[in-house]
Amino acid sequence: MNAGNVLPIFSAPGRDDCLKAVARALLRIRSNGWSCEAIGKALDCSADTVENASNEKSLLCFASLARLGFHFPEEFQLIETLWTCRVVEQPTVADRLDRIDRELDAIRKAAA
């Protein structure tokens, strides 16, 4: 990490920190059975971009990171911790059940 700029407690995340956080998030998604092609479609980028980010070779663009946070909120927490310089609160049971309901609704719509 680089020397702190605004907050004396936290220093700014460096490129390596960002590469590792994005790679860990993508690898968690992939470990749940998602292919690079499917993740790329969800993030509106190519499978090669997902592969490179998973291997810490490049970062995702802001738009893809925003989509990652939308589609994969649990995995995005790894990135959000760096982004906000604070620990992310864990979702409540009610929040998790709401997410499951939204995902089931989306699956039902896609299958219809």
pLDDT in tens, 22-37: 999 999 999 999 999 9
3-state secondary structure (DSSP) of residue 55:
coil
Is the pLDDT at 1 greater than 60? The verdict is no
- How many residues are given for the chain? 112
3-state secondary structure (DSSP) of residue 3:
coil
pLDDT in tens, 91-105: 788 888 988 888 888
Distance (Å, whole) CA 24 – CA 36: 14
The tokens describing 47, both together, are 């499978």
> Which whole number is the average pLDDT over 27-48?
95
The tokens describing 57, both together, are 């070779």
- Span of 32-36, 60-64, 76-80 with lowest mean pLDDT: 76-80
> Whole-model pTM?
0.68
Name the CATH architecture for the domain at 15-111: Orthogonal Bundle (1.10)
The overall longest dimension of the chain from CA atoms, in Å, is 53
pLDDT confidence band for 86 (50 / 70 / 90): low
**Residue extents of the structural domains in the chain:** 15-111
Report residue 9 CA to chain centroid gap. Answer: 24
> Which whole number is the average pLDDT over 11-16?
79
Residue 37: CA count within 13 A, CB half-sphere: 0
